[in-house]
Structure 1
Amino acid sequence: MDARDLVRSVKVIGSARGRRTVRAAWRRERVDAAGLPRSGPERARVPGLAEGAEPQPGGGVVRFARSSLRVRVAAGGAVFCGWDGATPEPSYALAGSCPEVDQRAFLEPDTEDGWRVVSERVTVTVSRHGAVAVRTPGGVVLRRELPPRWWEPAAGPVEGAPPRWTQRSVVAPDARCFGLGGRSAGPRLRSGTYRLWNTDPGGAFEPPDDPLYLTMPVQLVVADAGSHLIFHDNTWDGAVTLREGVEGEGSGHDRPGRCEVRMEGGPLRYWVIVGTPARVLHSWAQLTGAPALPPPWALGYHHARWGFGSEREVRRVVAGYLERGLPLSAVHLDIDHYDGHRVFTVDRERFPDLPRLAADLADDGVRLVSIVDPAVKAEPGDPVYDAGVAAGAFVRDGSGREVRGEVWPGESAFPDFTDPRVRAWWGEWYAERLAQGFAGVWHDMNEPVSFAAFGDPTLPLSARHALEGRGGDHREAHNVYGLAMARAGYEALRELRPEQRPFLFSRSGWAGLQRYGGTWSGDVSTGWPGLRASLALVLGLGLCGVPYSGPDVGGFTGSPSPELYLRWFQLASYLPLFRTHAAITAGRREPWEFGPEVLEHARAALHERQRLAPYFLTLAHLAHRTGAPYVRPLWWRWPRDRALRDCEDAFLLGDSLLVAPVLEPGVRQRTVRLPRGRWYDQATGQAYEGPGRIVVDAPLSRVPVLVRAGSVVPVVGERGETELEVWAPMVGRTGGGVLISETGDGWEEPTEVRFTTRMRGERVAVEREGPEDVKYAMRVRGEAVGLVTP
């Protein structure tokens, strides 16, 4: 849920709030007029000519007439480049301290009249004018950074006004770019400008609305020559402008792809990671932190709504699922369960006994999840507000006055999550949520949002933040506000309930959010474009290192048609976070509300999700260990396949499944582009050979799913025990899979068994590696007559 467009807000909530948003906007303008440095004449600066170089462990520093460049290779192969004395720390993105350097990497003179740093995975060359080229070990250029440019006040440095900067780069003509956080028109980023500023779009969004709630300066670039990730470690407002390249088809008139990064301040520093997509995401997770491991129940189906209204309604909806035999893992309560929308409270009239409700739901295997907003009603007598005032927890302006904004509770104050003391103070309040029986939390409105009749709906840019003791203003803190709030919540849940893994997901965040949990689409519009955007967001976020995400099934606003709802439901049943959700003014989202046919097919999707529970849990553990997203683009293992790089209407779920959702109305057959190898239709068992395009049936009852030949897919069998579906490999080829299993929601080491498959005559031979006491049944699928096991 987020700040709806103001016209509708006034109609729904009342004109008094509309008038307050006008006052809030004017107040923000006045605060910034008084608190921001005044702009004036500027002068441009470039590095100038190189004057020398100083070798250091892992790289070195090249000194120019008007700047310096530090190049350092980390032990895992990631390359750091920092201009003007920038170092890797402090950083909100890095997990813990800066990684150790690669002692084998060294700086040396280059034959091209410059310098180079050579390492096992990458070579970096620096010209005497400040151009930086990232090359493969074989010397192929993956990315060329042109000399940067800064804009500084002509009268000299001004406190609180760091120089703006721009850096342009060139990539191969065939390169395709992905990432930059959650982008509705993705996952492939076409030519255009993408703002780096976490933004509540002010109502339901659809392609090409941009920016959205979770932006981050992370690009994954895929080309024939190789793949690489580039991350500009800068939290300020900025923009990335991309121009896709054009190949001359042998005419010699190739036009390279271009990228321009513009930042309104902050350090010019970036990391580059080179390798296959899997290796790149693994190194990224090592650099910024392993994705949090959700408890097994969080991989089931969730039902949420803004507007349950009462305990009675929650019980009625849950009973509807149970009576119809529909699996349900969790119910999410939105702000309407609060007392006057005030965080860490309960409306006792509508929810007289939340702990009892939570306990009753838990008896049926259903967890209760609570929304948590950052805004605290600025009202003396409110316990959270009074405690925050006493702790000095709230953001202030340059004059020391508490910054106020207009949010759901009314006039509100905002905790400064960039202060470790405030994170600890805020985290103590999660004990109240646990005492109410909640099993997890979802963070909303944390871009942060302050309703405004005009201008940017957030805090004044001049608002002061601790920034871990360094001090600064909202221009630097805005993009990491949600990330720091997620850290506060995650660390609190770990401390308050150490025996269980926390469940947390956040609407906003930044690079490194995966350490604390996942995210969701936010207020995607109800419509077929919103359905397509749902897939784009999950794919794009996964390529930025945030593997756990999903959309609001059916869209946040409006009333989906039965067909649209069903197709959305079917898509989401193969995504990590499987959740229906809707606004208080929107139509229903329970499957039975759309007629008996939709109910029947939704039941099938729910049971298939339940059947794949061991596979999803395995993918969650693999994401935690390797950084690989659950949901992957088709080119994941074949990045040099250009046709796959442009395919955006299907995806891989792990290594084994190819899911081809229906994203348009009236479709009962659809074309699917296959990667190379043999693929089996999961429903019919028919085999197809890739690469190429095939046409498969897509009846209302299901979406096409194909299984890679040789795969071993863990599923729940008919008796409720884990069994293995073994799909016959191609003759002369091997396949395999992995099963990672656990009991409970804690931190116990899981059990892992790996499998290798190959054909022996007409039978599939399965070899295993792992504990012998793990028992399971096997079932052969595909072109084979049986199994051969040790």
Structure 2
Amino acid sequence: MDGAYLLGAVVGEVVGGVRDLRAALRRQRAGSADLVRAARMLGSARGRLAVRTAVRRRSVDARDLPAAGPDRARTPGLVVGAEPEPGGGVVRFSRAELRVRVAAGGAVFCGWDGAVPLPSYALAGDCPEADPRAQLEPDGAGWRVVSERITVRISAQGAVEFRTPGGLLLRTEGPPTWRDAASPAEGRAPGWEQRARLPADARVFGLGGRASGPALRTGRYRLWNTDPGGAFRPGDDPLSLTMPVQLVVADAGCHLAFQDNTWDGEVALWEGREGAGSGPDQPGICRLRMEGGPLRYWVIAGTPARVLSGWTALTGRPALPPRWALGHHHSRWGFGSQQEVRRVAAGYREHGLPLSVLHLDIDHFDGHRVFTADPRTFPDLPGLAEELAGHGVRLVSIVDPAVKAEPGLATYDGGAAARAFVRDARGREIRGAVWPGECVFPDFTDPAARAWWGAQYRERLDRGFAGFWHDMNEPVSFAAFGDPTLPLSARHALEGRGGDHREAHNVYALEMARAGYQGLRELRPQQRPFLFSRSGWAGMQRYGGTWSGDVATGWEGLRASLALVLGMGLCGVPYSGPDVGGFSGVPSPELYLRWFQLGAYLPLFRTHSAIGAGRREPWEFGPEVLGHARAALEERMRLLPYLETLAHVAHRTGAPYVRPLWWKSPGDRALRECADAFLLGDALLVAPVLEEGATSRQVRLPRGKWHDTATGRAYPGRTTVRLDAPLGRIPVLARAGAVLPVTGADGRVELEAWAPRTGRGGGGEVVVGDPEGWTAPRRERFVSRWEKGRVVVEREGGGEVGYEVRVRAAEA
């Protein structure tokens, strides 16, 4: 297997060399842009602070980061022996060692040079026990570990193959290379790199929130959570939430590969040369470079559902949002006052538009200071929250991590007393520039700092807020040039191990979410916390969800919205959504409506915009848009029991609400290419309109039979059909045989049953639970079938159905 790998690696080096040259030119252009940015910022007080912060950051790093030594490269060498262990064993090479361990449940851990699964910010709790049935045994010149779901082969040179039980190749990881110091000639930092070879037909998904996709094309993807510094578009990379998580789909099967390493890195995908089927946009080789940290990774294989179940069993099941969080959210940076919030809420009522949540952005703070409220414009937040709650509307507060460095400010004084803020190597607080001015930053990798921060949410709860929106937590520190974050040399606790920002940066937001979630659990134990975050890392789902960040207003931004939601779901974070209408500008009525119609079928359905980018209330776009938006909102509320069921399914299994069309048919290559339609659960197929002026669109249907929910017309699966998409609606199809819970005309839950195929059955489930608390939910499964020319729905296992049943498209 090493000969084929080496051939691909040689070709990859040539391609990579050309791309390295292009990257150097981009860095040169970025340097020029930094100078322009610095010059522009000098004209304002905030800009001058950003310049000083950037200079200070560079100075601190030059002083405190370790100096580079001579560049030395190391590879594993030849195999010299092995030692069996439970679930696998350790294979020793002349210059390295590899531990392979199959966990109960089928996930495979690989760790080089003594790397073990724990400690890890990604894993939830203890490492799963080893599978005692998996044994390390000789395999020619190398070794292998055979388990129920995957076979691992280790070559004599250190390459690692992962195959299905039937022998089909899923992935080959080449022998890694360690670099002990920086190499200026190649632009490489200390750390390691490893190349993987994928099947020729493979498609790669994941890597966190990416504006292109959902299938990742050839190119470079940085693993460094980054504020794009304005509204982003497809092709902008990296964004706020990156993860070293790849979900690979190929004819041979699906697998997930996770590199458990929090340092800065890069994934490069390029065209493979191993066989027919590769194309200029179809990656066959994956190269991972990391600037430090352990070389350890997990591989999980199986169907998409099994892979996501195994992944979230390892990293934590998704948090269950309260029922109200599945309704419509409205937000704007720049409400400006309680009166404006009341006006917007009243407008929704006057126009007969359902509304569940209103969000307050940083303009409601006193001078942008977190955990405060402006006494002039928001003098009575508890009263406002109580008034809105009377109309069924909750308040959600933005929370930024930066604390203004202002003695006398309660949050600053409390954090300073608790020594909760990030410091430099000499023990002084790191200062940065954010909205309030000069700021300090909690060290969320310190358990004591997390406990202190979690207690601060009492102020928010006392003001009547029901949920929380974490922003600016990459973390961001405005800088006139260079990376807009903390100095890389800034010191972090890292759970007592100690380290610097190079290791802590990517998990900063994850641990902020952990602090908030645990704090809310203690402050309000009877209610499930609700929070979502702009940034995060692997395992983010166990604390809440995410949203797109500042997506650009435009048709490209609309398309990026769907890519982000699909990609995050395949990384294990099922609750997410975009800024409907785009963040940065004023959308046309058509664009706003098409975005609104898409948002109505996404887990987080929130309108939002930047200050000065116009209002996002549906009535601001004219009576025609208002009427169509009302229809979309009413359909959202009608589907609320189905969305709640999907939330419980995600919490139980890790399956995302929004799924790619290939979810149940990963072997269908045509479906792997689809980036403009999705499944909502198993029952519905949603085909949003993503092109200006379109009134119809094509969609490739998965196997089975599908009913147009607007017309009732049936379409056979595995065909490409053209569907009407008038301005008033987007195409939505129901799977034949599906039984899904919906809100009936009287407000009670009823079952909507779509006729199954002749001679076939169908079904679905209903999960009814505590809307906000922790009481265990009730699961009910139903089956549908034809009987004497009519569709019959029965409770699985017998008994009364207990719901009114409405049969749709009941032709034989």
Match of 1:47 in 2: 76
Match of 2:597 in 1: 570
Report the Cα offset of residue 602 of structure 1: 0.2
Structural mapping, 1:442-481, within 5 Å: 442-481=469-508
Q: Would the alpha carbon gap of residues 605 and 754 (structure 1) be closer, same or farther in structure 2, given more than 3 Å must change?
A: same
- Whether 1:625 aligns to 2:657 is no
Match of 1:185 in 2: 212
Question: CA separation in 1, counterparts of 2:277 and 2:550?
Answer: 46
Match of 1:333 in 2: 360
- Whether 1:300 aligns to 2:298 is no
Match of 1:554 in 2: 581
- Whether 1:344 aligns to 2:371 is yes
Question: CA separation in 1, counterparts of 2:416 and 2:604?
Answer: 36
Would you say how many aligned residue pairs link Structure 1 and Structure 2?
775
**Aligned 8 A contact 1:10 1:18 in 2:** no
SS in 2 for 1:519: strand
- Whether 1:583 aligns to 2:610 is yes
Structural mapping, 1:57-72, within 5 Å: 57-72=86-101
Match of 1:35 in 2: 64
Question: CA separation in 2, counterparts of 1:13 and 1:61?
Answer: 57
Deviations along 1:597-621, one digit per CA (max 9) or x if unpaired, are 0000000000000000000000000
Structural mapping, 1:193-272, within 5 Å: 193-245=220-272, 249=276, 257-272=284-299
Report the Cα offset of residue 6 of structure 1: 11
The two structures have a TM-score, normalised by structure 1, of 0.96
Question: CA separation in 1, counterparts of 2:37 and 2:594?
Answer: 28
Report the Cα offset of residue 248 of structure 1: 5.2
Amino acid at match of 1:502: P
- Whether 1:137 aligns to 2:170 is no
- Whether 1:530 aligns to 2:557 is yes
Question: CA separation in 2, counterparts of 1:389 and 1:753?
Answer: 52
Q: Would the alpha carbon gap of residues 154 and 193 (structure 1) be closer, same or farther in structure 2, given more than 3 Å must change?
A: closer
Match of 1:415 in 2: 442
Deviations along 1:321-360, one digit per CA (max 9) or x if unpaired, are 0111100000000011100000000101101110000000
Pairing partner for 2:116 from 83, 87, 96: 87
- Whether 1:100 aligns to 2:134 is no
Pairing partner for 2:624 from 580, 588, 597: 597
Match of 1:673 in 2: 700
- Whether 1:501 aligns to 2:528 is yes
Report the Cα offset of residue 12 of structure 1: 11
Report the Cα offset of residue 585 of structure 1: 1.5
- Whether 1:485 aligns to 2:512 is yes
Question: CA separation in 2, counterparts of 1:281 and 1:198?
Answer: 23
Question: CA separation in 2, counterparts of 1:422 and 1:773?
Answer: 53
Match of 2:4 in 1: none
Pairing partner for 1:21 from 45, 50, 64: 50
Question: CA separation in 2, counterparts of 1:248 and 1:751?
Answer: 50
**Aligned 8 A contact 1:162 1:266 in 2:** no
Deviations along 1:52-97, one digit per CA (max 9) or x if unpaired, are 0000001000011111000000001000000010000010000001
Match of 2:152 in 1: 124
Report the Cα offset of residue 245 of structure 1: 3.9
Unaligned regions of 5+ residues in structure 2, if any? Answer: 1-33
Question: CA separation in 2, counterparts of 1:437 and 1:7?
Answer: 44
SS in 1 for 2:703: strand
Match of 2:468 in 1: 441
**Aligned 8 A contact 2:41 2:50 in 1:** no
Q: Would the alpha carbon gap of residues 248 and 169 (structure 1) be closer, same or farther in structure 2, given more than 3 Å must change?
A: closer
Q: Would the alpha carbon gap of residues 256 and 181 (structure 1) be closer, same or farther in structure 2, given more than 3 Å must change?
A: closer
Structural mapping, 1:608-647, within 5 Å: 608-647=635-674
Match of 1:788 in 2: none
Match of 1:150 in 2: 178
Pairing partner for 1:758 from 769, 780, 785: 785
**Aligned 8 A contact 1:76 1:283 in 2:** yes
SS in 2 for 1:691: coil
Question: CA separation in 1, counterparts of 2:700 and 2:169?
Answer: 30
**Aligned 8 A contact 2:200 2:277 in 1:** no
Q: Which moved more, 1:699-708 or 1:8-17?
A: 8-17
**Aligned 8 A contact 2:42 2:51 in 1:** no
Amino acid at match of 1:101: A
**Aligned 8 A contact 1:539 1:633 in 2:** yes
Q: Would the alpha carbon gap of residues 770 and 561 (structure 1) be closer, same or farther in structure 2, given more than 3 Å must change?
A: farther
Amino acid at match of 2:331: A
Match of 1:167 in 2: 194
Q: Would the alpha carbon gap of residues 124 and 421 (structure 1) be closer, same or farther in structure 2, given more than 3 Å must change?
A: same
**Aligned 8 A contact 1:753 1:771 in 2:** no
Deviations along 1:284-321, one digit per CA (max 9) or x if unpaired, are 01000000000000000000111000000000000000
Question: CA separation in 1, counterparts of 2:277 and 2:420?
Answer: 63
The two structures have a TM-score, normalised by structure 2, of 0.93
Question: CA separation in 2, counterparts of 1:472 and 1:520?
Answer: 29
**Aligned 8 A contact 2:269 2:283 in 1:** no
Report the Cα offset of residue 769 of structure 1: 2.7
Unaligned regions of 5+ residues in structure 1, if any? Answer: 156-160, 786-790
Match of 1:425 in 2: 452
**Aligned 8 A contact 2:182 2:189 in 1:** no
Pairing partner for 1:74 from 103, 115, 125: 103
Question: CA separation in 2, counterparts of 1:619 and 1:57?
Answer: 37
Question: CA separation in 2, counterparts of 1:23 and 1:534?
Answer: 35
Structural mapping, 1:763-782, within 5 Å: 763-769=790-796, 775-782=802-809
**Aligned 8 A contact 2:227 2:239 in 1:** yes
Report the Cα offset of residue 744 of structure 1: 3.0
Q: Would the alpha carbon gap of residues 14 and 298 (structure 1) be closer, same or farther in structure 2, given more than 3 Å must change?
A: farther
Q: Would the alpha carbon gap of residues 565 and 153 (structure 1) be closer, same or farther in structure 2, given more than 3 Å must change?
A: closer
Pairing partner for 1:371 from 387, 398, 408: 398
Report the Cα offset of residue 40 of structure 1: 2.7
Q: Would the alpha carbon gap of residues 198 and 517 (structure 1) be closer, same or farther in structure 2, given more than 3 Å must change?
A: same
Percent of aligned pairs sharing the same letter: 73
Structural mapping, 1:666-705, within 5 Å: 666-705=693-732
Report the Cα offset of residue 200 of structure 1: 0.1
Report the Cα offset of residue 752 of structure 1: 1.1
**Aligned 8 A contact 1:10 1:17 in 2:** no
Q: Would the alpha carbon gap of residues 201 and 319 (structure 1) be closer, same or farther in structure 2, given more than 3 Å must change?
A: same
Q: Would the alpha carbon gap of residues 12 and 600 (structure 1) be closer, same or farther in structure 2, given more than 3 Å must change?
A: farther
- Whether 1:745 aligns to 2:775 is no
Report the Cα offset of residue 256 of structure 1: 7.8
Deviations along 1:523-564, one digit per CA (max 9) or x if unpaired, are 000000000000000000000000000000000011000000
Pairing partner for 1:519 from 526, 546, 549: 546
Deviations along 1:574-596, one digit per CA (max 9) or x if unpaired, are 00000001111111100000000
**Aligned 8 A contact 2:474 2:485 in 1:** yes
Question: CA separation in 2, counterparts of 1:236 and 1:336?
Answer: 34
Q: Would the alpha carbon gap of residues 114 and 9 (structure 1) be closer, same or farther in structure 2, given more than 3 Å must change?
A: closer
Amino acid at match of 1:131: A
SS in 1 for 2:448: helix
- Whether 1:656 aligns to 2:654 is no
Question: CA separation in 2, counterparts of 1:540 and 1:122?
Answer: 25
Q: Would the alpha carbon gap of residues 623 and 464 (structure 1) be closer, same or farther in structure 2, given more than 3 Å must change?
A: same
Deviations along 1:714-769, one digit per CA (max 9) or x if unpaired, are 10011111111100111122211000012431011111110111222321122213
